[in-house]
Structure 1
Amino acid sequence: MARKLKTYQTSLGFFDLAVAAPSMKAALEAWGADSNLFHQGAAKESDDRGVIEATMAKPGVVLRRPVGSDGPFGENAELPTNLGDGERAAKAVRKSKGRNAKKPSTRPVDKAAERRAALAFEKEQKRRERERAGEEAARQKERERRQQAVDKAQTALETAEREHAKKVAAIQAEMEVLEKKSQAEDARWGKERGRLEAALRHARD
């Protein structure tokens, strides 16, 4: 069964972030936070009606706005025009909101809308999971492609080395045959020369 969504808000870097999620843990995962921003006091459940409506319209999607501003949240946001003032404003906003008790939302409860939002969040979460799985599959495919290229190059090198060794062995064998032929020819010529020189001496006598 789809869980009821809540709107969570934080500030990271140059942006305020907001997301509709079923739990703080899910919000942290959506933000890609590597620490518990809620325990650190850097994140909270939002009671701003405008923020709630924006996030509920796109459950699970992280919305942004320049840090310290009070403008609307959106999927894309420009950097703050004055980073120094923006940082001070963001701190002032967080400090003032921390002093005030959480106000109950005046938004009427719409059970059907909440169910739709919860289902939309699950759909967005599955989309992100598919996206991550697709990226991992692409990385795995690239690793396999590189390994195949390495294996192919290694096999080609080993094959060439074996072919070279065979040719060297064949050349050495031919050289040994030629050496034996040369030695046999030298022996034959030694005998032939001795016979011919003896005949020449006999003719002179």
Structure 2
Amino acid sequence: MPKRAKSKPTRKLKTYQTSLGFYDQAIAAPSMKAALEAWGASSNLFHQGAAKETDDPDIVAATLAKPGIVLRRPVGSDGPFTESAELPTDLAEDDSRPKRKPGKRPAKTANKTANRTAKEPSRKLDEQAARKAAAAFEKEERRREAARRKEEAARAKERARRDKAVAAAEAALDKARREHEAKAEEIEAARAALEERAEAEETRWDKQRKTLEQALRRARE
């Protein structure tokens, strides 16, 4: 009886947060590396102190509801994280306002969160909800991977089409060059033959002319 394949263990998701450009960003991912890839970061924001893991219940709940998807909110705000966030309303005052250090929560927000946490019991997802969120993340990963493979296949197809067109153009050029060289050789051979005939004709005429001139002189004597 064939053995049944073991199911792949579900990876536990964590919520990570950073600030990039005009937005705070958060995502539910199995690792810091996965979070950095989803953010499109070119450097390790966690080592730089610009990103962190968060246990804020509201942020955790929002990201686990849409695992693998980057959620945003205007930088410096304490609003909810969503897939489409508006730009900050105070961009014009950014130059005069002190910059908030990455990874640190404003005092007002921290106090507000602390009060809310003290009043409300911490919410924990049960094992079934965690598995569902992890499965959704893996589904999103597979969708991104499929899209990447589709793009690579399209690029490979375009390269093959371009290579085929280049090969056809080069073959046509080589054929035309060979035909030209063959015709040029024929013309050169014909020119050489004509020159040879012209020289022979000059030799014949010179000999005939001398004979006729001698006959003319004898007739005049």
When normalised by structure 1's length, the TM-score is 0.82
Deviations 1:17-64 (A, max 9, x none): 111111222111211222222233222222233322222222101111
Structure 1 outlier segments of 4+, above 4 Å? 85-90, 99-105
Match of 1:11 among 19, 24, 30: 19
Match of 1:51 among 59, 62, 76: 59
How many Å separate the matches in 2 of 1:198 and 1:30? 108
**Number of the residue aligned with 1:142:** 158
Shift of 1:161: 2.7
**Number of the residue aligned with 1:25:** 33
Is the CA contact (8 Å cut-off) linking 2:18 and 2:103 kept in structure 1? Answer: no
Shift of 1:199: 3.4
**Aligned ranges 1:162-201 → 2 under 5 Å:** 162-201=178-217
**Number of the residue aligned with 2:4:** none
**Number of the residue aligned with 1:75:** 83
Shift of 1:172: 0.9
How many Å separate the matches in 2 of 1:23 and 1:86? 37
Shift of 1:85: 7.8
Shift of 1:89: 6.9
How many Å separate the matches in 2 of 1:154 and 1:11? 53
How many Å separate the matches in 2 of 1:134 and 1:168? 51
How many Å separate the matches in 1 of 2:83 and 2:58? 15
Higher helix share: 1
Shift of 1:122: 0.5
How many Å separate the matches in 2 of 1:147 and 1:169? 33
How many Å separate the matches in 2 of 1:88 and 1:9? 21
Deviations 1:39-96 (A, max 9, x none): 3322222223332222222210111122112222222223222231897474498244
How many Å separate the matches in 2 of 1:92 and 1:38? 10
Is the CA contact (8 Å cut-off) linking 1:67 and 1:86 kept in structure 2? Answer: no
SS, match of residue 104 in structure 2: helix
How many Å separate the matches in 1 of 2:56 and 2:130? 17
SS, match of residue 116 in structure 1: helix
Match of 1:118 among 134, 139, 149: 134
When normalised by structure 2's length, the TM-score is 0.77
SS, match of residue 94 in structure 1: coil
**Aligned ranges 1:62-101 → 2 under 5 Å:** 62-83=70-91, 84=94, 88=98, 90-91=100-101, 94-96=104-106
Paired residues, what number?
A: 205
Question: Does residue 133 in structure 1 map to residue 149 in structure 2?
Answer: yes
Q: Structure 2 unaligned runs (5+)? A: 1-8
**Number of the residue aligned with 1:155:** 171
Is the CA contact (8 Å cut-off) linking 1:10 and 1:18 kept in structure 2? Answer: yes
